Amino acid sequence: MPKKLDIDWKAIEGLYTMGMKPDAIAHTYNLNIQSLRTRIKRGQWKVQKDALRAQKEVIVTQDRAQLVANAGTAYQQRLIKHVEAGMGVLDDNLPTTRPEVSQHFDALGKVDKIASRAYGLESTVNGGHSTTLNLNLLRVDGQLDPIHLKPCTAETSTEKPQVIDIQSVAT
């Protein structure tokens, strides 16, 4: 019977499952490479190594997803600051002439487009893009009153369009 070698197989298994190449392990521990490969196969170390690698990949993927989510949140906060600043400018510079009204509503539309993304109010309906905007976000006085709007389209509406006085809505 051959004499028992003083080899720490648990340490070797640990090195292999952590990714060290069998050739490097055999050289480090002065082992026959074929004996090491036999031990790897018999002990199913490759299965353990693959499971550990898959576990690491899940952790890395979760970390990357968290980084993207954090960056998205930071970007959203920056957009909100710009929306608030833009709304402040629009509130301070109310239009008085017809061209100014047109420019005012063009600017408001642009701010609305950014605000809907920043406040997470975008939605997709029937393959097309539709935006829902909570008008309470635009209030300056801080009161949150429900505003009920009835959705309709030009094709299905039988009612005459209603004209809304902007000054009465703002106050």
Q: Along the 171 residues of the chain, how does pLDDT read in single tens digits?
A: 556 668 889 999 999 998 899 999 999 999 999 999 999 999 999 998 998 888 888 888 888 888 877 877 887 788 788 878 878 887 888 888 888 888 888 888 888 787 777 666 665 555 555 545 555 555 555 554 544 445 555 555 555 544 444 444 444
If you search the block for the tokens 């829902």, which residue do you land on? Answer: 132
- Cα distance from N-terminal residue to C-terminal residue, the chain: 99
pTM: 0.39
pLDDT at 170: 45
Radius of gyration from C-alpha coordinates of the chain: 33
Domain ranges of the chain: 9-43, 47-136
Residues 6 or more apart in contact with residue 94 via CB below 8 angstroms:
104
pLDDT at 20: 92
If you search the block for the tokens 């400018």, which residue do you land on? Answer: 89
